[in-house]
Amino acid sequence: MGIEFGKRLQAIETPIPGLLVLELPVHGDTRGWFKENWQREKMTDSGISLPDFGPVQNNVSFNDAVGTTRGIHAEPWDKYVSVATGRIFGAWVDLREGATFGTVYTTEIDPSRAIFVPRGVGNAYQTLEPDTAYTYLVNDHWSSSASYTFLNLADETANIQWPIPLDQVEISEKDKNHPRLGDVTPMGPKRILVTGADGQLGRALRVELGGDAHIEYASRADLDLTGPDLEGARRWRDYGTIINAAAFTKVDAAETPDGRTAAWAANVTAVARLAHIANVNGIVLVHVSSDYVFDGTKSTDYSELDPVSPLGVYGQTKAAGDLIAQTVPRHYVVRTSWVIGDGNNFVRTMASLAERGVDPKVVSDQSGRLSFTSTIAKAIRHLLEDEAEPGVYNVTNSGELTTWYEIARDVYRLTGHDPDRVTPVTTSAYFSSAAGPIASRPTNSGLDCEKITRIMGRPADHRAELKAYLTSRAAPV
Boundaries of domain holding 46: 10-183
| Closest-CA residue to 446 (of 414, 400, 412) | 400
- In the predicted model, what is the mean pLDDT of residues 143-171? 92
Q: 1 in a domain, yes or no?
A: no
Confidence band for 475, pLDDT divided at 50, 70 and 90? very low
| pLDDT score, position 464 | 95
Of the CA atoms within 13 Å of residue 95, those in its CB half-sphere come to: 34
| pLDDT score, position 361 | 96
- 433: pLDDT strictly greater than 60: yes
Confidence band for 45, pLDDT divided at 50, 70 and 90? confident
- 67: pLDDT strictly greater than 70: yes
- 155: pLDDT strictly greater than 50: yes
| pLDDT score, position 401 | 97
| pLDDT score, position 283 | 95
d(C-alpha 97, C-alpha 421), whole Å: 57
| pLDDT score, position 135 | 93
198 with 174, same domain: the answer is no
| pLDDT score, position 467 | 95
> Which CATH number does the domain housing residue 50 bear?
2.60.120.10
| pLDDT score, position 46 | 64
163 CB-near residues (< 8 Å, 6+ apart): 89, 126, 128
Please answer whether residues 404 and 462 qualify as being in contact, where contact means their C-beta atoms are separated by less than 8 angstroms.
no
| Closest-CA residue to 61 (of 125, 144, 7, 156) | 125
| pLDDT score, position 29 | 82
The structure's pTM equals 0.89
- In the predicted model, what is the mean pLDDT of residues 454-462? 96
| pLDDT score, position 28 | 86
92 with 211, same domain: the answer is no
- 47: pLDDT strictly greater than 80: no
434 with 328, same domain: the answer is yes
Q: 5 in a domain, yes or no?
A: no
| pLDDT score, position 41 | 85
Handedness of CA 202, 208, 211, 215 (dihedral sign): negative
Please answer whether residues 329 and 461 qualify as being in contact, where contact means their C-beta atoms are separated by less than 8 angstroms.
no
pLDDT tens readout for residues 332-370: 999 999 999 999 999 999 999 999 999 999 999 999 999
Q: Which of 167, 183, 199 is the last residue of a domain?
A: 183
| pLDDT score, position 419 | 97
Confidence band for 1, pLDDT divided at 50, 70 and 90? low
Report which of residues 14 and 10 the model is more confident about: 14
| pLDDT score, position 15 | 96
Reply yes or no on whether 136 is catalytic.
Answer: yes
- 248: pLDDT strictly greater than 80: yes
- In the predicted model, what is the mean pLDDT of residues 184-212? 95
pLDDT tens readout for residues 361-413: 999 999 999 999 999 999 999 999 999 999 999 999 999 999 999 999 999 99
Q: Which residues of 192-218 are buried (b: 16+ CB within 10 A; e: fewer)?
A: bbbbbbbbbbbbbbbebbeeeeebbbb
- In the predicted model, what is the mean pLDDT of residues 176-189? 94
Q: Which of 125, 134, 136, 292 is catalytic?
A: 136
- In the predicted model, what is the mean pLDDT of residues 452-477? 85
Determine which of 41-45, 77-81, 169-173, 344-348 has the lowest per-residue pLDDT on average. Answer: 41-45
d(C-alpha 378, C-alpha 207), whole Å: 10
**Which percentage of the chain shows pLDDT scores above 90?**
83
3-state secondary structure of 300: coil
Burial of 221 (0-12, 13-18, 19+ CB in 10 A): exposed
Q: Which of 73, 214, 276, 382 is catalytic?
A: 73
Q: 199 in a domain, yes or no?
A: yes
- In the predicted model, what is the mean pLDDT of residues 326-331? 96
Ordered DSSP codes for 104-163: EEEEEE-TTEEEEE-TTEEEEEEE-SSSEEEEEEESS---TTS--EE--TT-TTT----S
254 with 227, same domain: the answer is yes
Q: How many domains, in total, are found in the chain? A: 2
| pLDDT score, position 33 | 87
195 with 179, same domain: the answer is no
**Greatest mean pLDDT range, 1-5, 130-134, 224-228:** 130-134
d(C-alpha 12, C-alpha 22), whole Å: 6
Q: 477 in a domain, yes or no?
A: no
Confidence band for 112, pLDDT divided at 50, 70 and 90? very high
128 with 171, same domain: the answer is yes
Q: Which of 183, 206, 222 is the last residue of a domain?
A: 183
Q: 126 in a domain, yes or no?
A: yes
| pLDDT score, position 394 | 98
Confidence band for 7, pLDDT divided at 50, 70 and 90? confident
| pLDDT score, position 145 | 81
236 with 351, same domain: the answer is yes
Handedness of CA 129, 130, 131, 134 (dihedral sign): positive
Ordered DSSP codes for 439-474: ----SB--B--HHHHHHH-PPPBHHHHHHHHHHSTT
Reply yes or no on whether 405 is catalytic.
Answer: no
To the nearest whole number, what is the mean pLDDT of the chain?
93
